[in-house]
Amino acid sequence: MSGSRRHDPALVFIIGWLAMLLLTGLSIGSAFLGLGLCAPVIQFGIAATQAAILFVLFMRLKGPPSLKWVFAGSGFFWLLFLFGLSMTDYATRRGWPAAG
């Protein structure tokens, strides 16, 4: 009998799905809280966490490094690149109403 216990694969996916639902609820809730200038940062953080869950669980990236990691890493790089471009748009846009 080994010391490590294997989890049911269906349970792992259900927990991942519930985490995605929770993060989606947080994202929707944060849209209505009126967080001001911190809202995009918080919402992008939630989206990046959701992307990480998708990468690890649903793309089956757990395990030793392989070519899958290269493609997933490049996709995550482009996701961060697009988030960065969006953040520069938010940071440099003029004419927004005053927060609060």
In-domain check, residue 4: no
Between 63 and 34, where is the model more confident?
A: 34
Is the pTM above the cut of 0.75?
Answer: no
Q: Which stretch of 20-24, 31-35, 89-93 has the lowest confidence by average pLDDT? A: 89-93
- CA–CA distances in Å: residue 4 to residues 7, 8, 34, 63, 65: 10, 13, 46, 15, 21
In-domain check, residue 35: yes
In-domain check, residue 59: yes
Per-residue pLDDT for 92 more than 90? no
In 3D space, the residue among 28, 80, 25, 29 whose CA is nearest the CA of residue 52 turns out to be 80
What is the C-alpha separation between 80 and 60, in angstroms, rounded?
A: 21
What is the C-alpha separation between 53 and 12, in angstroms, rounded?
A: 11
In 3D space, the residue among 8, 7, 13 whose CA is nearest the CA of residue 59 turns out to be 13
Between 59 and 2, where is the model more confident?
A: 59
pLDDT at 84: 87
**What is the average per-residue pLDDT within 54-67?**
78
In-domain check, residue 86: yes
pLDDT at 23: 95
The residue range of the domain holding 85 is 9-92
